[in-house]
Amino acid sequence: MKLSDAELRDVIDELQDAWREHGDADLLHQPAARRDRPFTSEDVARVAIVHGWARHLHETAKAVVLLLDNGMTNAALPLVRQMYECALSAVWVVQSQEQHGVRAIISEHVRTRRAFAREAEKAESPTFRESAGEIADVEARDDLASNDNARQFRDICLDLTPAGVDAYIYYRVMSSYSHASLAVSDLYYKEADRDSGSLPYRLPEATAAIPADSLLYFVAISLVWGARAYAYTSRDQTHRSIIRRLARTLEVNSEIQLSAHYRRRHAKTRTASK
Q: What is the pLDDT of residue 14?
A: 98
Note the helical H segments in the chain: 5-22, 41-69, 73-95, 100-121, 126-131, 153-158, 164-176, 182-186, 212-234, 237-250, 260-273
**CA triplet 184, 190, 193: central angle to 5 degrees?**
120
- Least trusted range by pLDDT, from 121-125, 218-222, 270-274: 270-274
| Pairing outcome for strands 189-190 and 257-258 | unpaired
Is the pTM value of this prediction over 0.75? Answer: yes
Q: What is the pLDDT of residue 137?
A: 87
Provide φ and ψ at 141, rounded to 5°. -120, 140
- Least trusted range by pLDDT, from 38-52, 97-111, 169-183, 260-274: 260-274
Instruction: Calculate the CA 76 to chain-centre distance.
Output: 15
pLDDT > 70? residue 273: no
pLDDT > 80? residue 270: no
Report percent pLDDT > 70 for the chain.
95
- Distance between CA 111 and CA 89 in Å, rounded? 18
Q: What is the pLDDT of residue 142?
A: 65
pLDDT > 60? residue 18: yes
